[in-house]
Amino acid sequence: MIWNACSKQGEQIKLEIYKIILEVLRAAYSTMTDETKEHFIDKMAAMPPAQAIEKDIEIVTELGKKGGVAFRPPEGHVVKAAQLLWSIAVLEKPYSISVTQMARKKFCEQVQSWDDSFKETYVRRCLENISNRKFPL
């Protein structure tokens, strides 16, 4: 219900609702199931690029936080959030410049703590894009 209100209202209402969602998300993150986090990430991924704002990136970043043991490999909602941030960062769809730039920054922050073997997929994609002269990386 809240999600539908966000996606159908003006940007100011969306920002106010997102502020509430972020507060709840930060407070309840540890009790939220991975499936619920993935569900919200899927909703964000389905949003038309023209409707995306920087707060959307902030929510995806919060949902994609890696909880638990530091050396636990990224999986499920963590990988799904990284994949969405990556797709926005490399302009797989026509997102605004501010959203794209924030997605790049948040993607880098998110995967920075990952083990190198998990970063390799994205490094390989960057190299392929460079080889194919596809920009942004």
Token output for 14: 């969306």
Mean predicted lDDT score pLDDT of the chain: 81
Q: What's the pLDDT at 70?
A: 53
Q: What are the residues whose beta carbons fall under 8 Å from the beta carbon of 114, sequence distance 6 or more?
A: 66, 74
What are the pLDDT digits (tens) for 103-126?
999 998 888 877 787 778 888 887
Question: Which whole number is the average pLDDT over 46-63?
Answer: 90
Split at pLDDT 50, 70, 90, the class of 94 is: very high
Cβ atoms 86, 119 nearer than 8 A: no
Split at pLDDT 50, 70, 90, the class of 7 is: low
Q: What's the pLDDT at 132?
A: 79
One-character DSSP codes across the chain? -HHHHHHHS-HHHHHHHHHHHHHHHHHHGGGS-HHHHHHHHHHHHHS-GGG--HHHHHHHHHHT---S-TTSPP-THHHHHHHHHHHHHTTSS---HHHHHHHHHHHHHHHHTS-HHHHHHHHHHHHHHHHTT-S--
Question: Which whole number is the average pLDDT over 79-99?
Answer: 91
What are the pLDDT digits (tens) for 57-82?
998 998 888 665 455 566 788 889 98
Residue 64 burial (10 A CB sphere; 0-12, 13-18, 19+): buried
